[in-house]
Amino acid sequence: PASIGPLTLRNRTIRSAAFESMCPGNAPSRQLKDYHCSVAAGGVGMTTIAYAAVTQSGLSFDRQLWMRPEIIPGLREITDAVHKEGAAASIQLGHCGNMSHKSICGVTPIGASSGFNLYSPTFVRGLRKEELPQMAKAYGQSVNWAREAGFDAVEIHAGHGYLISQFLSPYTNHRKDEFGGSLENRMRFMEVMRAAGNDMAVLVKTNMRDGFKGGMEIDEAVQVAKRLVQDGAHALVLSGGFVSKAPMYVMRGAMPIKSMTHYMNCWWLKYGVRMVGKWMIPTVPFKEAYFLEDALRFRTEIKEIPLVYVGGLVSREKIDEVLDDGFEFVQMGRALLNEPGFVNRLRTEEKARCNCGHSNYCIARMYTIDMACHKHLEEKLPLCLEREIEKLENQ
């Protein structure tokens, strides 16, 4: 057992905030409940429901949670069920900023600065200075709704090129006011995201690097982390990457383009990604614990609060190494999708290793349907997708 602020977990494992795409109508579903209950029954210390937008403008996908009073009863069903299995429940709160489209979020996407986002693709409107306090209040209100829904913790998403990250990164922040320019100015928006109350654990997911030239690098990221400690975070989740610029820096490996486009509904997007996808989403080689070297730098600089390691953990051997290096907790996403009971197996098998082959089929499918491991599907995949997955897993 170990603690994050006021919360004590039964062990050091956390299901990472990996988007499930299981929320039609932007509300919790039976599928979402069943998945998180399976992870809780599988022995994890805490499971994290992934990406709940703090406003409608913060939605980046159709099947994504949007925090509002009417979904509280459905969320309460999930937290009650998770607690019955002995695990704690967390929810990731965020705003996608420019990573959306009017057809999804209902308005012209907003961000730190105006411009054009090729990822969507769409024009983006920079937030006006007078809009920032209201956006900060939306985060605070979502924390209160999470408390009402029975969550033990919230994870604020300040990485991966979403809204807070867009303010922090020089790549996306071109503002000329006091919220742009120097790192001190770029951190001003983040500073209003303070912990609400003392009865919930507040984790913050933050980048260690943006993952490309022109983005935020590790020296600035360490300063951001130290400011988060000052602002009252109970733990930091150390990640990296920018979904709109360096998506596979976050997840590693290759994006299975055939699988991804197979499920797309928009015909022109389907064929466009088929033609240029491998250049738009370049491969970044996978290795176990791929963020560990950078995370160790943060461990030497930050002693006041727990640090959560995430990124490429699939074996007990590497998890033990990370914990022995001084990280209080570990997060896993794909490993617990592949095997929800993996944590229970870690207890009994010294050489336990999950069966994830890192083809990233689960991510390719997630954008359109839901996050699912190809090894657990009821339907049979087309032969072309089977061959793509086999090729990627045998690289």
- Laid out side by side, the sheet with 122-126 consists of 110-111, 122-126, 115-117
Give the tokens for residue 10.
């039964």
Residue 310's Cβ-side half-sphere holds a number of Cα atoms within 13 Å equal to: 28
Residue 121: what pLDDT? 83
CA distances (Å), origin 88, targets 22, 154, 294, 323: 20, 11, 28, 20
Per-residue pLDDT of 227-254, as tens digits, reads 999 989 999 999 999 998 999 999 999 9
Residue 120: what pLDDT? 79
Q: How far apart are CA 346 and CA 318, in angstroms?
A: 11
Helix (H) or strand (E) holding 324: helix 316-324
Catalytically active residues are 162
Per-residue pLDDT of 19-62, as tens digits, reads 999 999 999 999 999 999 999 999 999 999 999 999 999 999 99
Output the average pLDDT for the chain.
Answer: 95
Per-residue pLDDT of 348-373, as tens digits, reads 999 999 999 999 999 999 989 999 99
The whole-number average pLDDT for the span 301-324 is 97
CA distances (Å), origin 389, targets 5, 57, 71, 255, 392: 41, 35, 36, 10, 5
Residue 81: what pLDDT? 98
Residues 6 or more apart in contact with residue 55 via CB below 8 angstroms? 66, 95, 135, 138
Residue 123: pLDDT band (50, 70, 90) is: very high
Residues 6 or more apart in contact with residue 42 via CB below 8 angstroms? 336, 339, 340, 341, 342, 343, 344
The whole-number average pLDDT for the span 77-91 is 98
Beta strands per DSSP E along the chain: 2-4, 7-9, 13-15, 46-53, 65-66, 88-94, 110-111, 115-117, 122-126, 153-158, 201-207, 235-239, 307-310, 329-332
Residue 196: what pLDDT? 47
Sign (positive/negative) of CA torsion 189, 251, 343, 380? positive
Residue 272: what pLDDT? 87
Per-residue pLDDT of 370-387, as tens digits, reads 999 999 999 999 999 999
Q: How far apart are CA 65 and CA 48, in angstroms?
A: 13
Using the predicted structure, report yes or no on whether residue 104 has a pLDDT greater than 60: yes
Q: How far apart are CA 35 and CA 38, in angstroms?
A: 5
Residue 198: what pLDDT? 66
Q: Work out the angle between the directed axes of helices 132-148 and 72-84 (0-180°, nearest 10).
A: 50
Helix segments in 195-251, DSSP class H = 218-230, 247-251
Query: What single DSSP character describes residue 376?
Result: G
The whole-number average pLDDT for the span 66-77 is 98
Percent of the chain with pLDDT over 90: 90
Q: Are the C-beta atoms of residues 297 and 218 closer than 8 Å to each other?
A: yes
First to last CA, the chain: 38
Per-residue pLDDT of 186-213, as tens digits, reads 999 987 555 445 689 999 999 999 999 9
Give the tokens for residue 306.
């727990």
